[in-house]
Amino acid sequence: MLSTSVLARPPRSIRIHALGAPLTRSALCRYSSSSTSKDAKNGSTKSYAATMMLPKTTFPQWAEPSVREEPYRARTTSELYKWQAEQKDRDLFVLHDGPPYANGHLHMGHALNKILKDIINRFQVLQGKRVRCVNMGHQHMPGTNEDISYIPGWDCHGLPIEHKALKELGTGHESISPIAIRKIARQNAERDMQVQMEEFKQFGIMADWSHEGTYRTMDHDYEIRQLRVFQELVRKGLISRRYRPVHWSPSSKSALAEAELQYVEDHKSFPVYVKFQVSEDRMASGLADMVQNLRKDPSETVHLVIWTTTPWTLPANMAIGVNANLDYALIRRTEHPDEGLLIIGKDRLEALNKVLGEFEVLDILPGSALTGTAYSHLFHPSTSPAPLVTEWSDVEANTGTGLVHMAPGHGKEDYAALTATGLLNKVNIVCPVDDGGRYTEEVVGLAKDAAIGERLRGKEVLSDGGKEMVGILKEYGVLVGQGTLKHKYPYDWKTKKPIILRATSQWFANVDDIKGAALKALGKVKFQPEISRSRLESFVRERSEWCISRQRAWGVPIPALYDAETNEAILTAESLDHIIPVLSERGVDHWFEGPVEDFIPPRLRNNGRKYVKGTDTVDVWFDSGTSWSLIKERIPKEDRGRLCDVYLEGSDQHRGWFQSSLLTATGAAELGREAAPYKDLITHGFVLDDKGRKMSKSDGNVISPLTIINGGENKKKDPAYGADLLRLWAASVEYGRDVSIGPKVLAQSAETLRKLRNSVRFMLANLKDGEAVRGDFQTATQLEFSLIDKYVMLHLQQLEQTCWEAYRDYNFPRVVASLNRFATNTLSSLYFDVTKDTLYADAVSHPTRRATITVLHEVVRTLIAILSPILPHLAEEVNQTLHEQRSQTPSSAFTSGWRKLSSNWNDPSVSRRMDTLLQVRSEVMIALEQARKDKRIGGSLEAALEIVLPDTKATNSIAEILLTEESILKTLFVVSDVQVLHQAEATQDRLYCERQIDD
C-alpha cells in the first residue's frame, strides 16, 4: 500500500524522496543531446554530449532483405558447405534428403521441410569447431565433430511429368513411342528441377547445389543402383507377377500403390439392394427343407438379397459370402407378394425397414445352412458353372444385408477369401473393365441377354456405365432398393479423380516375408514426435504386398522378358545379371529402343522361342525408396552400417517414402542384418492457411514462400520479409502437427525478429561494432562482475544450455521461445535499462563499465551461435559487424562453432539473491509510477530512495541481500540514489510516500 504517513509498526518500506532534478551524468547527457544548439550560439565551449560514450554502430535497425541477406548468402550456404566438407577429421552426420517431385514451383510445404532440415544441418556444423575464449570459462562440446553429408535430391519420374510431356506433344501415349515421351519428360523434369533449385537457394539452404552435389532419380547411376536393389529382391524370391485386383486409376490408366491414393471424405456413391435368384436344383439341403414348407406354391422363387456401393461390379460377381455364425431370415414382403421369398440377415431387418417396406418373417436359419447354395444373376450365362454361396467369417451384421456380393476382379478382400477356398484355382477371375475404366466386349458375353451387355459396353463404370446398370436392374425387376451414401473413397492423388479396383497382371513385392524384420528394425528408430511410431508401424503391419509395376513410359523399366507365344515372364537374378550391365553401358533408354536380342541371356538364345520386352515401369515410390543406396555408396565403408542419421518429411510419407525406404532396405539386406536406413525419423505436418484450411488455388488462399521472401506486386499487401523471417516462422511452429500461416502469423514472426535484431543492435552500438573490446581493453573477470552482471551471465548460460538441448532434440519452437524471452525479459526490460548510465557516462577503464562491456560482448557472441541455425543471415551480419574493423575479412560465424558456457555461471545463490531484488524492484516501479502520475517527479532519475528496515537485527533474507547489494541498487532501480536504513535513521526530508514490502 502507499502512504504519506509513517506506519504504526516498524515497516520494511520503500520511501520515495522527490529531488526535483536528475543527478546523474547520463541524465545530463540525455538532456544535453536532445537540446537545441543554443549553447553553441552562446559561445559554449563544451558540450555535455562530447563527454559521453554514446552508442554507435553501422548495424541498421532495418533494411531491405536484398540488402541485409544477399551479401551473406554465399558465405552461409555454398561456401560454408564446402568448408565443412573439407574438414576430413570430423565424424560423419548424414541427413538424407527425401526427393521432392520435380514439377512446378515450390509451396509452403517445401519451405517448412527444407528449412527444418537446414536448421538440423547447421546445428551439427556448429558442434564441430573448438571454441577458444579467454577468462570466460568456455569449454568445447566433446565428441561432436561432425562432417555433414547432405545431398539435395529430386524425384523425377512418374505420371504428372509424363502427362505434361504428352500435353506438349499433343497426343496420347498410345500413338507415340516411349522414347519420344521419355525425351520430353526428361527435359521437363530437368527444367522444373532447375527452377526449384533456384527457389530453394533463396531459403538460405546450406548445400552444394552443383550437379555433382545433388541427385535425381533419373540420373543414370541412380537408375542402375535401383535396378541392383531390385535384383536383390528378385534373388530372394520377393518379386512375383500375378493377375489380381489392384488400385487402378482410369484417369491415369495405371495401377497405383496405396501411397498414391488420396482419400476423399465426402465421396458420393449410389448403393443398391439386388436380389439373386436361388437355383432350384442346387439349394443347400437345410434351406431346401425349410423353403418346401413355407412356399405358397411350388413355383414360388427364392432370392438372396445383397447390398453394394459399386453396382457396376455386378457383372464380375463370382460368389455370395455369408457368416456361418449369423442367423438369416426368410421373409415375404407384403407389398410384393409375387416376387418370392427373400433371404436377409436377421440382425439387419430393423435397419432395412424403409427399404423393404412391410414384411413377414417366415423362419430363421443359420448361415451354415446357406453355404453351397447355387444362384444366378443377370450376368451369369447359362453355359457357365453356377456361382455358390460361400462361408466367409469377415461378413458382419452391422452393414448391408448380411450377404456380401463377392467380385474378386474388383475387390482385394474378395480375392483373398475366394483364393483361400480354392475357387480361383479352378476358374478365371472375371473383370470386364479396361484401362480407361470402361466396360469391355467381355460384358456382352457375360450377360444372359446380349442386349444387356450391349447397353453397357464402352461406358465408363464410374459415370454413365454405373447409371445404366441401375436402370437395367430396375427394368429387369431385381432392384429391391437404392440410396445415396457419402463416404470415404480413394482418389488418384495426382489427377484428383476416383479410382477403381481392377484385376490386372502386375508385379508385386512380397511384404509379408519382410515386414517382421522391418518392424523389428523400427524398434531401434527414434521417432519425433513419438506418436508417429504407431502410424508407420500400423501401415507396415497391415500391408501384405506392394504392387510395384506401373503402365507408364517415363520411369525405370521392370526388365522382364516375355515368351511371345505363352506370355510367360522371365525375370530372375540370372537374367538381370545379363540385362543390367547392358543398361549400365548403353543407358536405360536402350530398354525402350534397343532390340530384344540385346537383352536375352545366353542360356535362352537359340532355343526356338521368341521373346518380347515388358513395357511396365517401376513404382516411383520404389524409385525414391532406394535412395538410401546413394548414401551407402558415397559414405566411407566404416560408416555404412548405420546409413542415415535423420530422415525428415511430411506426415503423408508414413505411407510413402518412409515406408518404401524401410521395405527396400530391409528386403535387400543380408539375412539377419536387416536395419532401417534411418536412426531418427522426424515427421512434420501440413501447412494450412490462418483459418486452418488446406491451401488451394480455387480458394485463393495460397501463400507462396517466394512471396514472403521477396514480396508481392503490392508491397503494402505483401511486403518483402526476407528468408530469415520465413525461417523463423518454420522454427517457431509446432511442426509435429499441421501448422498455419497468414498475415497475422507473419506479423508476429516479424515482431519477434525485430526484437532480436534491436537487442543485438543495442549491444553492437555499445561495443562500437567490436572496437570497444579490441586494443588495450581489459576483459573483466568474474570476480569483477556485479550481481546484475552475474545474473545476466547465469541466464545466458541457461539459455545456451536450453537451446543446445532443444536443437539436439529437434525442438526448435523451444529455441525461439527461449531466445525471445531472454531478449525481452533479461536484456531489454532489465539489463539494457539498468546499464545505460554506466555505458554512457563511465570512463572506458571504469571497472563497472568494463564488466558491462564484457557481458555484452559475451552475450553477442553466444547469441550469434544460437541464432545461426535458424537465422543464418542475421547471425552472419552480426558476426561481420562485430569484426568489420579488422584488416582481414572475418570468417563465417559457423566456423567458430557453438559457444559452450561454463556451468560455473549457473550459481543458484545468484539467482536467489537477484530474484529477491527484482521483487523489490517491482515494488519500486509501482511507487515511482505513482509519483509520476501525481506529477511529483518526471523520470525515475529525479527520485532518491530510502529502503527502511525494522530496528531489529537484519537476519531475514531480504534485509541481508539489500544491505549486501546496496551499491548496485540505484543502478537496478534506475534512480539517483538508494540508501538502505534502519527505522531510526530514516528522514522525513522531502518524503513523498512509503510502500511496505514483505519477505
* Residues forming beta bridges with residue 946, ordered by sequence position: 15, 979
CA gap 202, 234 in Å, rounded = 43
pLDDT at 12 over 70: no
Give the amino acid at 941.
Answer: L
User: What is the DSSP track for 886-943?
Assistant: SSSPPPPGGGG------GGG--HHHHHHHHHHHHHHHHHHHHHHHHHHTTS-SSGGGE
The pLDDT-based confidence of 17 (bands split at 50, 70, 90) is: low
Half-sphere exposure of 309 toward its Cβ, with a 13 Å CA cutoff?
14
**More confident of the two residues 892 and 589:** 589
- Listed in sequence order, the residues at least 6 apart from 663 whose beta carbon sits closer than 8 Å to its beta carbon are 509, 511, 514, 515, 518, 540, 546, 625
**Pick from 163-172, 581-590, 736-745: least confident:** 163-172
Q: Is the pLDDT of residue 45 over 70?
A: no
Q: What is the pLDDT of residues 101-145, one digit of tens each?
A: 999 999 999 999 999 999 999 999 998 732 222 223 333 333 333
Lowest mean pLDDT among 106-115, 320-329, 538-547, 944-953: 944-953
- Phi, psi torsion values for 336, nearest 5 degrees: -135, 65
Whether pLDDT at 526 is above 90: yes
Say what the pLDDT of residue 30 is.
31
Picking from 570, 579, 575, 571, the residue whose alpha carbon sits closest to that of residue 599 is 579
Higher pLDDT among residues 643 and 923, named by residue: 923
Q: In the prediction, which pLDDT does 952 show? A: 62
Listed in sequence order, the residues at least 6 apart from 957 whose beta carbon sits closer than 8 Å to its beta carbon are 916, 999
Letter string b/e over residues 738-763, b meaning 16 or more CB atoms within 10 A of that residue's CB: bbebeeebbeebbebbebbbbbbbbb
Tell me, letter by letter, the H, E, C secondary structure of 164-216.
Answer: HHHHHHCCCHHHCCHHHHHHHHHHHHHHHHHHHHHHHHCCCCCCCCCCCCCEE
Question: Looking at 318-327, 399-408, 914-923, which range is the least confident one?
Answer: 914-923
Give the range among 308-312, 483-487, 647-651, 881-885 with minimum mean pLDDT: 881-885
Residues for the chain: how many in total?
999
Q: Tell me how far CA of residue 56 lies from CA of 46, 763, 841, 844, 951, in angstroms.
A: 21, 10, 14, 15, 48
Confidence band for 953, pLDDT divided at 50, 70 and 90? low
Question: Are the CB atoms for 899 and 862 separated by under 8 Å?
Answer: yes
CB 424 within 8 A of CB 309: no
Nearest 10 degrees: Cα torsion 251, 255, 259, 261: 30
CB of 853 closer than 8 Å to CB of 767? yes
**pLDDT attached to residue 38:** 42
* Residue 275 backbone phi and psi in degrees, to 5: -105, 135
Which of these ranges, 362-366, 535-539, 777-781, 986-990, has the smallest mean pLDDT?
986-990
**What gap in Å lies between CA 372 and CA 388, rounded to an integer?**
6
The tens digit of pLDDT for each residue in 451-494 reads: 999 999 999 999 999 999 999 999 999 999 999 999 999 999 88
Cα–Cα distances in angstroms (integers) from residue 351 to residues 344, 348, 401, in the given order = 11, 5, 9
Cis peptide bond N-terminal to 529, omega within 30: yes
Distance, in Å, from the CA atom of 316 to the CA atom of 447, rounded to the nearest integer, reads 11
pLDDT per residue as tens digits for the range 316-372 = 999 999 999 999 999 999 999 889 999 999 999 999 999 999 999 999 999 999 999
2 or 685: whose pLDDT is higher?
A: 685
When pLDDT is averaged across residues 739-754 and rounded to a whole number, the result is 95
DSSP β-bridge partners for residue 546: 509
Residue showing cell 509446432: 734
Q: What is the mean pLDDT of residues 157-164?
A: 90
The single-letter DSSP state of residue 783 is G
3-class SS string, 680-713 = EEEEECCEEECCCCECCCCCCCCCCHHHHHHCCC
Pick from 243, 400, 383, 398: nearest CA to 320:
400
Phi and psi at 822, nearest 5°, equal -65, -45
Identify which has the larger pLDDT, 886 or 740.
740
Q: Can you read off the three cell numbers belonging to residue 345? A: 440377415
CA distances from 108 to 102, 205, 394, 702 (A): 15, 15, 43, 9
DSSP H or E segment with residue 218: none
Q: Which residues contact 596 (CB under 8 A, 6 or more apart)?
A: 561, 611, 612, 613
Average pLDDT over residues 639-653: 82
Q: What's the CA gap between 876 and 867, in Å, rounded?
A: 9
* Distance (Å, whole) CA 177 – CA 822: 64
Start-to-end CA distance of the chain, whole Å, equals 15
Q: What is the pLDDT of residue 49?
A: 63
What does the alpha-carbon distance between residue 176 and residue 166 come to, in Å, rounded to a whole number? 9
In this prediction, residue 886 carries a pLDDT of 56
Residue 998 φ/ψ, nearest 5 degrees = -115, 160
Q: Is 673 helix (H, G, I), strand (E, B) or coil?
A: coil
The secondary structure element, H or E, covering residue 21 is none
Proportion of the chain in helix, strand, coil states, percent, rounded to 5 = 45, 20, 35
pLDDT score for 302: 95
Q: Amino acid identity of 595? A: P
Note whether 457 and 439 are within 8 A (CB). Answer: yes
Question: Residue 950's pLDDT is what?
Answer: 75
pLDDT value, residue 18: 55
Compute the average pLDDT of residues 195-221. 95
Q: Residue 956, SS3?
A: coil
Mean pLDDT (whole number) for 68-89:
88
The single-letter DSSP state of residue 772 is: G
Label the pairing between strands 375-376 and 272-278.
antiparallel
- Average pLDDT of span 609-632: 93
* Weakest mean pLDDT among 46-55, 75-84, 878-887: 46-55
pLDDT exceeds cutoff 80 at 8: no
The CA distance from 901 to 795, in Å, is 11
Cell triple for 591: 530398354
Q: Could you report the per-residue pLDDT of 228-252, keeping only the tens digit for each?
A: 999 999 999 999 999 999 999 999 8
Q: How confident is the model at residue 32 (pLDDT cuts 50, 70, 90)?
A: very low
Residue 842, pLDDT score: 86
Are the CB atoms for 825 and 722 separated by under 8 Å? no
Q: Which of 371-380, 625-634, 831-840 bottoms out in mean pLDDT, i.e. has the lowest?
A: 625-634
502-515: average pLDDT: 93
The pLDDT mean for the chain works out to: 87
> Concatenated DSSP letters for 103-144?
SS---HHHHHHHHHHHHHHHHHHHTTS----SSS-----TT-
pTM to 2 decimal places: 0.84
Asked if the model's pLDDT at residue 436 lies above 60, the reply is: yes
Give residue 369's pLDDT. Answer: 94
Q: pLDDT tens digit string along 281-295?
A: 899 998 998 998 898
pLDDT at 955 over 90: no
| Euclidean distance between CA atoms 500 and 442, whole angstroms | 18
- pLDDT attached to residue 795: 97
Closest to 432 measured CA to CA, from 507, 502, 505, 506: 502
**DSSP-derived secondary structure letter, 831:** I
Distance CA 126, CA 815 (A): 15
Alpha-carbon distance of 989 to 18, in angstroms, equals 9
